[in-house]
Structure 1
Amino acid sequence: MEAGMNLAPLPLAVFVVDADGAVLSWNRAFENLAGYGPDDMRGRKLDAVLALDDGAPLAPALAEVDMTGQLLCAGGHRMSVRLTFAPHSFDTAPGNYSVILLPLPGQGPPRYALLQDFPVAELIETLPCLFYVVDRSGHLLLWNRQVENVLERTGEELPTMNVSEFFDDVERQPVIDKILAAFEHGSSSHEADLVGRHGKRTSFLFNCARTTLGNLPVVFGTGLDISERKKTEQGLRVSERAMYSSVNAILITCCSHGENLIEYVNPAFEQMTGYSLAEIKGRDPRFMRIEGCDMHEHQRIRMALRAKQSVHAVLRNTRRNGEVFWNDLRIDPVVNIDGKVTHFVAVLNDVTQARQYERRLHHLAHHDALTGLANRTLLQERLKIAVESAQQGMPGALAFVDLDNFKHINDTFGHDVGDCVLREIANRLHAGVREHDTVARMGGDEFVLLITEQAGETVVAELLERLRRNLDRPIVVRGKEVIAGASFGVALFPRDGDTVDRVMRAADSAMYHAKTLGKNNVQFYSIGLNEVVRQHLLLEAGLRNAIRNGELALGYQPKVDLRTGHVVGAEALVRWNHPDEGLIGPDRFIPIAEETGLIVPLGDWVIMQACTTLQVLAALGIADFVISVNLSPRQLRQRQFVEHLAATLQHFHIHPSTLELEVTESQLMDNPADALEALAQLKHLGVRLSIDDFGTGYSSLSYLQKFPVDVIKIDRSFLGDIAGEGNAVITRAIIALGHNLKLEVIAEGVETREQLSFLRDHDCDQMQGYYFSPAVPRDILRNMVCSGLRMAV
């Protein structure tokens, strides 16, 4: 085949010479530029076609890569051109050179004029991609404007540069390898970044194909800008890695023929559920649901999927091992470029522990920690519903349950045993009612029963009586039997109240009534109880004010020595001068003071008044007079009571032996060990100690010997019928016991001559009572003592 006959037209003039300068092949652009025909070029040498400006001999091996010279055209004229001698670096048989001619400006037809002769010139220029032709030397022979724009270079520069210069160092060898692969195998493709003059980088997908232009082997190809695709791919890789590494379980389904089938799950999903992607791919995720559970949530999910919308749900699913877990699920649709939903992405969170913790918190917020019963909050919520239902014909009952002996159990056996008793009481109450009834603990030893849909007062009474008898049975704790006992106060609704507050107040009134009737009984609310409770509350409120407003008064009942008849002491007895009711005896307000804790400030006031009286008598020279004050259990249990008492005595300059503190026998025996310790501290302070109401309790003689007391007082009940053989025997025994223990014995409540004679005959030490004098004010007591008033002996 003749050289140049099969060459496709190219805008750049190029021909190939060997090492000796013989022309081997050329293209039509060279023929058009130089004006030679194919026959003119055969056998020509390099120096017959080109000449250097300085007239030096021209040899390819010695020539500079880029220089200027003269093209010796047909017809004898010359054209100034830029010459590029490029060795065939991509050739497996080096030694040949490509000679590329580029007319200098103004010397020949421009590239774009030459390009018009190219049959597909317009197409190449308008391609949305790079177009290029490269020879074995690695130089561009043809390119479109896109190449210039990307490389930020002019058309005059490009032929003088090797294409490898358009890439980073690390990419040059792979690019050369791909071009060589096209020369050797016919085609190749690769991705690489072109680098412009000013550093601009653009990613391209290059596709190369081998061809020949006459006898000139070349590679032509296209470069498709894939920068956006690269960014997208990078984003997808980041997203994929994020999904893969996410601690949240992720599941992707593909929408196909109305179904949503699993296409991908991440490792977190596999770890959460126990299912691998391989075993569930192509399945509908609904296989993990629990039939019959969370039906409303499943319905919401189905509706959202049909509507191609997002949805959030919390429901239960099963793991591969059958374990149930709570799943916080978020599902979102994925839309393609056409706006069609093709996939759904689901993010799953195992919230089992959070759900359990939430339920635990809810339980703790609504249940008693010790017994597990409903607490006040939950009781009021349920009572509100029950009271509202009662308006619709479903009556109910509310019962307050208060343990009768719990304080004694706590003080005697300790709080651990007390807690065990409370739990057992809770179990017995819960076991004795229906499942839909409510048993609540309000705190301390107070329980409440909410009985719904009750059939009437008789049925409720029978139920509560059974419960009362059950609570009255002994409770064995750590080998010890204790009996709690309980009092029940009951209100029926809507009969006794149509609001939560009214029903609870009615039940509380009934409870108060049960306590006043001797405890361990069941009492229903009645209208008359309102007045009783109201008076109780008024008395409590009035007592608080009485202490502040000076309404309390202290009377002193003299104590007489039965041998001499002299007044040797007195018992301080508090009275309340109520502004409306007049004088109120201690039997009415002392129990309220004990119940409410007002007994502590009241007791402090009594001690201070007694000390004031002792101070007045001491100033008159009466130094051995003794005033006794009743001490409440609450005062005795106060940790700093002894220190406070010592400060009071020091403030009034009172000798401790002139103050006598009276404690009851039952008070000491409630908790003998603690009582012994408290009395020892008081005795160390120097005050006198007396056991009041002796004989009415159940004293242990062994403890009686240990208590550091000075006096025992015979209860007035043993003097009521002194002629009776039983009382006489007990009274004689108490006097003898006291003297044998070297204690003084005082009889209180002496009202008759017969009682006085009996006490003298049996050597009782002192007496007090109406026979000699009732309680008198301080001034009268002072006059009585100063005047030397005596009782006849």
Structure 2
Amino acid sequence: MDQHNWLPRGDAPVPGSTSAPRRAPPAGSLTLARQVMQYTREGIVIMDARGRVLEVNPAFCHHCELAATELEGRHITQVSKGLHEGRYYRRIWQRLQLQQQWEGEVEHITRRGEVVTHWLMLRLIHDEAGRITHIVGILDNISRLRQSEERLSFLAHHDSLTGTANREFLLSWFSRIRADLAANEQLALLFIDLDRFKPINDGFGHGVGDRVLQALAERLQQMVDANEMVARIGGDEFVMVWRDIDTEQTLFERAARLLERLEAPVRVDQHELSVGASVGISLYPKHGLEIETLLRYADTAMYEAKTYSRSHIALFDSDSFAQLEQRGRLAGDFRAALAQGQLFLEYQPRMDLASGTLPAVEALLRWHHPTLGLVAPDAFLPAARDAGLLGRLAEWVFTEAAQQQRRWHELGWRGRISLNMSGLEPELEQPRILRLIELLRARGVNPADFELELRSDFIMRRSESLLRVIEGFRAAGMAVYLDNLGHGRFRFDILKGLPVDGIKLDRGLLTEPLDAFDRSVIQALLLLAHTLGLNTVACGVESAGQLAFLREHGCRQVQGEWLAGPLASERVPGFIPALPGSAVPG
């Protein structure tokens, strides 16, 4: 049976038919039927028993883009340029013989080259003897309906802002892709958290923030192929799934390229905005078989990257998961820490090498947990962020330091307090600057009696919003220092244009003994700072040899155990800087 002979002979009954044959209508009613056909929106075609067109209405001609004279006598399968193969039509004809009717979708290409979808219904007409005499077809263009359904399906499975997949689609896609993996194939799931998106959203408005997200999402989509996935699962959180990951080295090289793409500035109108990200990675099947498990582990690794990793990329391990659980418990306790006075500040003295005086002390945040004892900032700052309390913590630090500075002034001490904001930088957006500075003034102290230390990794990602933060503090009279220089990424060209007052060399540069490479790096940084007119402070000085080298090469100030460890607040006013071997009062 071919497509031109798809029904039994017109004088034969339909094999296997159990339904009563459809009788042809009385001749007198055909005139009325033809009149109705002329005005109906659906295309109607009447064929003989072999599928040759006998009569059509105007709507059918419109759908097929042919005149009635061109259609009459053609076999129905030759009416338009379709996208279906001959076997598709043969299946229709077979179903039509067995069930006396068929309906479904057919597609064809218009003269303009567009693909149009029609809904076609076919019915068999019998005479009084049960023989098939005609076939009636009703055709309707459902392209717009299909497009609407596809659009609704897309919206149901994709993020409306960025066009990436949403969480639900990610879960269903992962289930399908997992079934197609080769025996030894590995997947990498990346949890991506944008680092500085909130200040952009708050400072420039949600319209600008949305355009930044769209630009970054497009960059992410450019870094996956058709068998990989990008999904937005939160406000500034994305997930990527990569295939063909053979080694960890390959994985980290690809992740590093991803990080570089995300850190490149995004231009929105006249603004050039830099975001960056932290990336946590889990592996299938090494770390888990279910996507929810992999998401949880990648999220854990992301926090590891955000808190500790120099490259802001971390691969999940069980130790990280244990740390996350501990952090979860600390997050629950941190609200009580603020309310019950469990937090306090210690003060690291800083000595001026030329005068031997104490120009400033660095305020160091501490938490005395009621059961765990002294908890390190590296442990409780992520917990404070999890609890949503970083903003309140920054205000507490400013308030406590202001009150302490006022008490010291009453005792005659005139040094400055350097506020180490490591881990609190995400809270330093434009509206909060005014609040923090007002906290100082409201307690009767001058902002010029304070310095601000910001991590070099944070401040080196220069953007308009960040520069406005720095300039806001400096406009109030506060000096701003680039902390941890020599740890993480560093660019000389960016340092040249930063509105900062000084640099603090990371303690990691001061190895014992100092090797040739460390000496060269320190010399270069000190020379650069001198050229730019910046003050220089070396952290972590622990030996006479280190101190002599720093003095020789023009470092202005030092702090570390060689001078003194952190002091309780009551010891600061009477503390007189002195090197080992000299009496140190207080």
Match of residue 59 from structure 1: none
Root-mean-square deviation (Å) = 5.3
Q: Structure 1 residue 629: deviation in Å?
A: 0.9
- Which residue type is aligned with residue 271 of structure 1? H
State how 1:124-203 maps to structure 2 within 5 Å: none
Whether the aligned pair in 2 keeps the contact of 1:425 and 1:471 (CA below 8 Å) is: no
Select which of 382, 385, 400 maps to 2:189.
Answer: 400
Q: 1:300 to 1:549 in 2, by over 3 A?
A: farther
Q: Structure 1 residue 750: deviation in Å?
A: 3.1
- Which residue type is aligned with residue 189 of structure 2? F
Whether the aligned pair in 1 keeps the contact of 2:334 and 2:384 (CA below 8 Å) is: no
Whether the aligned pair in 2 keeps the contact of 1:490 and 1:522 (CA below 8 Å) is: no
- Which residue type is aligned with residue 251 of structure 1? I
Q: Structure 1 residue 373: deviation in Å?
A: 7.0
Deviations 1:534-574, CA, capped at 9 Å, x for gaps: 32243145236414533443222233455665544321111
Select which of 313, 320, 327 maps to 1:532.
Answer: 320
Whether the aligned pair in 2 keeps the contact of 1:567 and 1:790 (CA below 8 Å) is: yes
- Provide the rounded CA distance (Å) in 2 between the counterparts of 1:746 and 1:320: 76
- Provide the rounded CA distance (Å) in 1 between the counterparts of 2:500 and 2:128: 100
Q: Structure 1 residue 270: deviation in Å?
A: 1.0
Whether the aligned pair in 2 keeps the contact of 1:689 and 1:710 (CA below 8 Å) is: yes
State how 1:497-536 maps to structure 2 within 5 Å: 497-505=288-296, 529-536=317-324
Q: 1:600 to 1:708 in 2, by over 3 A?
A: same
Instruction: Tell whether 2:403 aligns with 1:604.
Output: no
- Provide the rounded CA distance (Å) in 2 between the counterparts of 1:502 and 1:763: 53
State how 1:271-282 maps to structure 2 within 5 Å: 271-282=62-73
Instruction: Tell whether 2:254 aligns with 1:462.
Output: no
Whether the aligned pair in 2 keeps the contact of 1:398 and 1:503 (CA below 8 Å) is: no
State how 1:310-329 maps to structure 2 within 5 Å: 311-317=102-108, 324-329=115-120
Select which of 59, 67, 78 maps to 1:268.
Answer: 59
- Provide the rounded CA distance (Å) in 2 between the counterparts of 1:595 and 1:692: 24
State how 1:237-386 maps to structure 2 within 5 Å: 242-246=36-40, 248-253=41-46, 258-259=49-50, 262-288=53-79, 290=82, 292=84, 299=91, 303=95, 307-308=99-100, 311-317=102-108, 324-331=115-122, 345-363=136-154, 365-366=156-157, 376-385=167-176
Q: 1:332 to 1:379 in 2, by over 3 A?
A: same
Q: 1:297 to 1:511 in 2, by over 3 A?
A: farther
Q: Structure 1 residue 268: deviation in Å?
A: 1.9
Q: What's the secondary structure of 2:419's corresponding residue?
A: strand
Whether the aligned pair in 1 keeps the contact of 2:482 and 2:503 (CA below 8 Å) is: yes
- Provide the rounded CA distance (Å) in 1 between the counterparts of 2:194 and 2:292: 28
- Which residue type is aligned with residue 400 of structure 1? L
Match of residue 420 from structure 2: 630
Whether the aligned pair in 2 keeps the contact of 1:614 and 1:627 (CA below 8 Å) is: yes
Deviations 1:376-400, CA, capped at 9 Å, x for gaps: 433321322455688xx96753312
Match of residue 137 from structure 1: none
Match of residue 283 from structure 2: 491
Match of residue 203 from structure 1: none
- Which residue type is aligned with residue 397 of structure 1? Q
Q: 1:722 to 1:424 in 2, by over 3 A?
A: same
State how 1:28-67 maps to structure 2 within 5 Å: none
Match of residue 23 from structure 2: none
Q: 1:305 to 1:672 in 2, by over 3 A?
A: closer
Deviations 1:197-217, CA, capped at 9 Å, x for gaps: xxxxxxxxxxxxxxxxxxxxx
Deviations 1:350-405, CA, capped at 9 Å, x for gaps: 12243244335534554678998765433321322455688xx9675331246899
Give the gaps of 5 or more residues in structure 2. 1-27, 201-207, 267-275
Q: Structure 1 residue 342: deviation in Å?
A: 7.2
State how 1:527-606 maps to structure 2 within 5 Å: 529-540=317-328, 542-543=330-331, 545-550=333-338, 551-562=342-353, 567-590=358-381, 599-606=390-397
Whether the aligned pair in 1 keeps the contact of 2:350 and 2:558 (CA below 8 Å) is: yes
Q: What's the secondary structure of 2:562's corresponding residue?
A: coil
Deviations 1:201-244, CA, capped at 9 Å, x for gaps: xxxxxxxxxxxxxxxxxxxxxxxxxxxxxxx98x965x655532
Q: 1:272 to 1:584 in 2, by over 3 A?
A: same
Q: Structure 1 residue 307: deviation in Å?
A: 4.8
Q: What's the secondary structure of 1:383's corresponding residue?
A: helix
Give the gaps of 5 or more residues in structure 1. 1-231, 452-459
Which has a greater percent of strand?
1
State how 1:680-719 maps to structure 2 within 5 Å: 680-694=471-485, 698=490, 700=492, 704=496, 707-719=498-510
- Provide the rounded CA distance (Å) in 2 between the counterparts of 1:660 and 1:486: 28
Q: Structure 1 residue 344: deviation in Å?
A: 5.7
State how 1:721-736 maps to structure 2 within 5 Å: 721=512
- Provide the rounded CA distance (Å) in 1 between the counterparts of 2:554 and 2:113: 88
Q: 1:754 to 1:382 in 2, by over 3 A?
A: closer
- Provide the rounded CA distance (Å) in 2 between the counterparts of 1:398 and 1:316: 38
Higher relative contact order, chain-length normalized (CA < 8 Å, sep 6+)? 2
Q: What's the secondary structure of 2:168's corresponding residue?
A: helix
Q: 1:279 to 1:762 in 2, by over 3 A?
A: closer
- Provide the rounded CA distance (Å) in 1 between the counterparts of 2:260 and 2:295: 33
- Provide the rounded CA distance (Å) in 1 between the counterparts of 2:552 and 2:107: 89
Q: 1:347 to 1:639 in 2, by over 3 A?
A: farther
Q: What's the secondary structure of 1:770's corresponding residue?
A: coil
Deviations 1:323-372, CA, capped at 9 Å, x for gaps: 65211234567899999997665432212243244335534554678998
Length-normalised TM-score, structure 2: 0.69
Q: 1:665 to 1:298 in 2, by over 3 A?
A: same
- Which residue type is aligned with residue 43 of structure 2? I
- Provide the rounded CA distance (Å) in 2 between the counterparts of 1:703 and 1:294: 70
Match of residue 152 from structure 1: none
- Provide the rounded CA distance (Å) in 2 between the counterparts of 1:476 and 1:708: 24
- Provide the rounded CA distance (Å) in 2 between the counterparts of 1:501 and 1:398: 14
Q: What's the secondary structure of 1:670's corresponding residue?
A: coil
Q: What's the secondary structure of 2:368's corresponding residue?
A: strand
Whether the aligned pair in 1 keeps the contact of 2:538 and 2:555 (CA below 8 Å) is: yes
Q: Structure 1 residue 588: deviation in Å?
A: 3.9
Q: Structure 1 residue 486: deviation in Å?
A: 11
What is the number of residues matched between the two proteins? 524
Q: Structure 1 residue 274: deviation in Å?
A: 1.6
- Provide the rounded CA distance (Å) in 2 between the counterparts of 1:316 and 1:788: 88
Q: Structure 1 residue 273: deviation in Å?
A: 0.4
Whether the aligned pair in 1 keeps the contact of 2:84 and 2:107 (CA below 8 Å) is: no
Q: 1:378 to 1:489 in 2, by over 3 A?
A: same
Deviations 1:117-156, CA, capped at 9 Å, x for gaps: xxxxxxxxxxxxxxxxxxxxxxxxxxxxxxxxxxxxxxxx
Q: Structure 1 residue 291: deviation in Å?
A: 7.8
Query: Between Structure 1 and Structure 2, whose CA radius of gyration is higher?
Result: 1
Instruction: Tell whether 2:462 aligns with 1:668.
Output: no
- Provide the rounded CA distance (Å) in 2 between the counterparts of 1:294 and 1:507: 50
Q: What's the secondary structure of 1:538's corresponding residue?
A: helix
Deviations 1:565-594, CA, capped at 9 Å, x for gaps: 554432111123345543222234446767
- Provide the rounded CA distance (Å) in 2 between the counterparts of 1:544 and 1:346: 69
Whether the aligned pair in 2 keeps the contact of 1:566 and 1:788 (CA below 8 Å) is: no
Q: Structure 1 residue 771: deviation in Å?
A: 3.3
Q: What's the secondary structure of 2:460's corresponding residue?
A: helix
Deviations 1:470-525, CA, capped at 9 Å, x for gaps: 67679999xx999x9997845344x75454423544566677789977659996x7
Q: 1:736 to 1:671 in 2, by over 3 A?
A: closer
Match of residue 449 from structure 1: 241
Q: Structure 1 residue 606: deviation in Å?
A: 2.0
Q: 1:395 to 1:337 in 2, by over 3 A?
A: same
